[in-house]
């Protein structure tokens, strides 16, 4: 579980997670210190989180977060894609640039850092959010076969991404793998790779659901639209608490194994059914990814839980509702905002990170869950609690 926040590390799990800076300060991470400061930005569909880092020492100096202003165009990537294709692309780009610039200037101002001392900005986010940030057409990514025609450069001038400003430094936009497996997963992988496991599973559950299996340099990625069901079912608390609420209902018998409500609950029967569909899609994805590995028993060395839902998820509760296989429980751990953590790593060790990034892009296979032979049977099986 996440450690209590000490104020100058990555421990809180709400903005950056622990592995990168722990590895850096312990000497287990390649160090590439340089003068000046860097800002890491994770542009999520719901929330944007930023971190200011001293590039010479690796110390996290300050953090800032805000709700993604594009949510007025819809809560998920499909609604944002539709809005962009209906003529709102430049409006959506303008508001995210405006709020991100405000956040960046706030970080610098609060630490009395002059704009000229900023050496680099690294941005991570899902494929749709990056298209909207860069002003790229979304016409292809929202319709089958979900092909991406836009291409990212290794680096951009600050003005080319964020427009006129007193800031002049390079901006790195971490690349995506596919239409629905984005640079946030790239960043998450770059982050958890610092833990040294040769075979691991990264499950990023937020507004979108993305998964990656990494085994000795070989990468398989996939996605599923799981997040909205958990977020829409939240009653005051975070979406991750929905998992614990469901687990409690199952343990007490208020929900039977079919998902039928047999007692008092704040959930409607429709919400329960939507949650069953979502958790079954995630569990089926996990099972399919593991079936494509050649490890004994198909059990990874580690299961990293990230994203707005995953990073605060209670593992035992996730096992109780069938979201995570019981055999993986002992190896599952929430790792905070792995996407922002990976962007921080790209600031602290840019050359090593670039090498790892290129290796991941060169050894990746994307799979469509619905096209897998075992998907239908798995999906029906894991609908049950």
Q: What is the pLDDT of residue 2?
A: 36
pLDDT, one tens digit per residue, over 201-258 is 999 988 788 999 999 999 999 998 776 788 777 777 777 789 999 999 999 999 999 9
DSSP state of 32: -
pLDDT, one tens digit per residue, over 7-57 is 334 434 344 444 555 555 555 555 788 999 999 999 999 899 999 999 998
Taking the model in full, what pTM does it have?
0.91
CA 130, 283, 205, 253 dihedral sign is positive
341 burial (CB, 10 Å; 0-12 / 13-18 / 19+) is buried
State the DSSP string of 270-338. Answer: HHHHHHHHHHHHHHHHHHHHHHTS-SGGG--SEEEEEHHHHTT--HHHHHHTTSS-GGGGGGEEE-S-H
- Structural element, H or E, at residue 112: none
Q: What is the pLDDT of residue 29?
A: 57
Whether residue 145 is preceded by a cis peptide bond, meaning omega within 30 degrees of 0, is: yes
State the DSSP string of 347-381. Answer: HHSHHHHHHHHHHHHHTEEE--GGGSTTHHHHHHH
3-state secondary structure 246-273: HHHHHHHCCECCCCCECCCCCCCHHHHH
Q: What is the pLDDT of residue 296?
A: 64
Q: What is the pLDDT of residue 13?
A: 38
Q: What is the pLDDT of residue 209?
A: 86
Low-confidence ranges of the chain (pLDDT < 70): 1-30, 227, 295-297
CA 271 to chain centre: 24
Q: In terms of residues, how long is the chain?
A: 385
Q: What distance in Å separates the CA atoms of residue 53 and residue 163, rounded to the nearest whole number?
A: 23
């Amino acid at each position: 579980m996440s450690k209590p926040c000490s104020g100058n590390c990555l421990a809180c799990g709400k903005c950056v997670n622990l592995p990168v800076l722990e590895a850096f300060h312990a000497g287990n991470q390649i160090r590439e210190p340089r003068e000046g400061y860097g800002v890491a930005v994770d542009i999520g569909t719901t929330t944007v989180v930023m971190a200011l880092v001293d590039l010479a020492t690796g110390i996290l100096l300050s953090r800032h977060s805000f709700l993604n202003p594009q949510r007025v165009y819809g809560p998920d990537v499909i609604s944002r894609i539709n809005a962009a294709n209906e003529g709102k692309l430049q409006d959506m780009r303008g508001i995210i640039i405006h709020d991100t610039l405000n956040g960046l200037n706030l970080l610098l101002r609060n630490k009395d850092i002059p704009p000229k001392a900023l050496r680099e900005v690294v941005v991570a986010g899902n494929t749709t959010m990056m298209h909207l940030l860069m002003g790229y057409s979304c016409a292809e990514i929202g319709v089958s076969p979900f092909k991406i025609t836009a291409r990212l450069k290794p680096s951009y001038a600050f003005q080319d991404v964020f427009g006129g400003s007193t800031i002049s430094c390079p901006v790195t936009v971490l690349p995506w793998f596919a239409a629905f497996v984005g640079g946030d997963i790239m960043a998450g992988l770059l982050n958890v790779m610092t833990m040294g496991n040769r075979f691991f599973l990264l499950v990023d559950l937020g507004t979108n659901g993305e998964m990656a299996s990494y085994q000795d340099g070989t990468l398989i990625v996939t996605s599923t639209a799981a997040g909205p069901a958990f977020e829409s079912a939240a009653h005051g608390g975070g979406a991750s608490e929905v998992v614990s609420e469901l687990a409690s209902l199952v343990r007490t018998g208020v929900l039977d194994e079919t998902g039928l409500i047999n007692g008092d609950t704040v959930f409607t029967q429709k919400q329960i059914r939507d949650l069953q569909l979502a958790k079954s899609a995630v569990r089926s994805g996990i099972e399919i990814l593991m079936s494509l590995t050649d490890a004994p028993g198909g059990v990874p060395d580690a299961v990293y839980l990230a994203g707005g839902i995953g990073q605060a998820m209670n593992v035992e509760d996730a096992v109780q509702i069938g979201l995570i296989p019981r055999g993986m429980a002992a190896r599952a751990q929430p790792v905070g905002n792995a996407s922002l953590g990976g962007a921080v790593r790209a600031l602290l060790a840019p050359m090593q990170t670039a090498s790892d990034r290129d290796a991941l892009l060169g050894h990746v296979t994307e799979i469509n869950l619905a096209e897998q032979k075992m998907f239908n049977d798995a999906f029906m099986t894991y609908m049950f609690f």
